A and B are shown apart, each in its own frame.
Chain A
Amino acid sequence: MSLMQEFTKGIIKENPLFRLVLGTCPALAVTTSVENGLGMGAAFTGVLLASNIAISLMRSIIPASVRIPAYVVIIASFVTMTDQLMHAFTPSLYKALGIFIPLIVVNCIILGRAEAFASRNSVLPSIMDALGMGLGFTIALGLVSAFREVLGAGSFLGIQILPESIPAILMILPPGGFITLGCLLALLNKLQKKYAW
């Protein structure tokens, strides 16, 4: 697979949220507003990139039987660093994401990519794969949070669109997250059936 393919596959063909249905925990909880969703996507991409590089660099010296604890410690240290930096430099976004920054550590995608990809390929493809997956996840988060914010709070990126009375608050609550993701997946299945065989 050429490098470009590594990058683009993460966005549509193997989009982590829509195709592999991984990383649903933060996707459902944080996407109450587009700003949170994109902020989470950015933090996630940063951590995924750093951890993919580190793991693919070390892939030859990691003994197989302790590889998962080793990967997870590396990922956790990168997340803690991001957590600290975000706490220091972007307090508003940090407050909005709350518990979900430490939970990037257990985001299934990062460990999934580390296990399935970074531990088997050299650094450059891992970088492209991380960027592709990160971008794909951020787009997916943006999409879900756009739906939820417009329907739930009647605003988009904070700008009020729908009049105050209309929004269905349910969309901001947990069930709204499930429904939005479910319908989006169904829509994508429909489209995928129509265009690809």
Chain B
Amino acid sequence: MQEYLIIIVSAVLINNIVLSQFLGICPFLGVSKKLSSSLGMGGAVSFVLVLSGAITWVVRHYILVPFDIGYMQTVAFILIIASLVQFVEMVMRKFTPPLYKALGIYLPLITTNCAVLGVAIINVQKDFSFGKAMTHSLAHSAGFTLALVLMSGIRERMEDADIPESMQGTPIALVIAALMSISFLGFSGLI
């Protein structure tokens, strides 16, 4: 049990997927303008991340390793993730159209979300058992959503702050992300 706790804490706080491993920055900058769309995005990414963590682990364990075609890993993983995202997109368009509209262009971008593939690859590098891989994926998706929600909280306040003309928009978002990642650096000595 203790190991699981370490995985969760290290994934959410210490090497947070966005703020210290740099994975998943594109949607992080793009969607974090409004709290509602970032929550929706966090949910969608978490769903895809956990599901893809499971499938990629199974595929690797029962297909890639026994047949010793490890080099196919990237292609196989990305195929799984892309199909999963397409599936999620169809489900969301059918059952939650407002959320689908809010996410708009950023939904297909989840396929290119480095965080999803990054977590799958880290699962492989760390050679986790299925349970650990699941907790790891869940913890990272929680970390991603946490960073996204924190960011959108701050950016919503940015609307009425008077930022110099050229800093508005993405530059100020990057500087905020820098400050957040400095604060997350503080956790690195935790374990």
Residues of A within 8 A of B (CB): 21-26, 28-29, 65-66, 68-69, 72-73, 75-77, 79-80, 83-84, 99, 102-103, 105-108, 110-112, 115, 170, 173-179, 181-183, 185-187, 189-190, 193
Contact = CB atoms under 8 A, between A and B. Distances in A.
B167 A106 contact: no
Contacts of A84: 71
A89 B121 CA distance: 23
B117 A103 contact: yes
A105 B74 contact: yes
B166 A186 contact: yes
B76 to A, nearest CB: 9
A107 to B, nearest CB: 7
Contacts, number: 135
- Among A75, A77, A79, A175, residue most surrounded by chain B Cβ atoms (within 10 Å): A175
Nearest to A78: B75
Name the 8 nearest CB pairs between A and B, nearest first. Answer: A182-B174, A178-B178, A189-B166, A29-B22, A186-B171, A24-B25, A190-B166, A69-B82
A69 B175 CA distance: 34
Contact of B171 (A24, A72, A182): A182
Interface string B56-94: 000000000000000110110011011101100000000
Contacts of A193: 165-166
Interface residues of B, number: 48
Interface of B: 19-26, 29-30, 71-72, 74-75, 78-79, 81-83, 85-86, 108-109, 111-114, 116-118, 121, 164-168, 170-175, 177-179, 181-182, 185
Nearest to B76: A76
26 contacts: A21-B29, A21-B170, A22-B26, A23-B26, A24-B25, A26-B114, A73-B75, A76-B78, A99-B121, A103-B114, A106-B111, A106-B113, A106-B116, A111-B111, A111-B112, A174-B21, A174-B185, A175-B182, A177-B22, A178-B174, A178-B178, A182-B178, A186-B164, A187-B166, A189-B165, A190-B166
A37 to B, nearest CB: 14
Contacts of A28: 22, 25
Given A21-B26, A72-B79, A174-B22, 17 more contacts: A28-B25, A29-B21, A66-B86, A69-B82, A73-B75, A73-B78, A84-B71, A106-B78, A107-B114, A108-B26, A110-B112, A170-B182, A176-B178, A182-B171, A182-B178, A185-B174, A190-B165
Contacts of A187: 166
Contacts of B112: 106-108, 110-112
Nearest to A22: B26
Given A68-B111, A111-B111, A178 B175 contact: yes
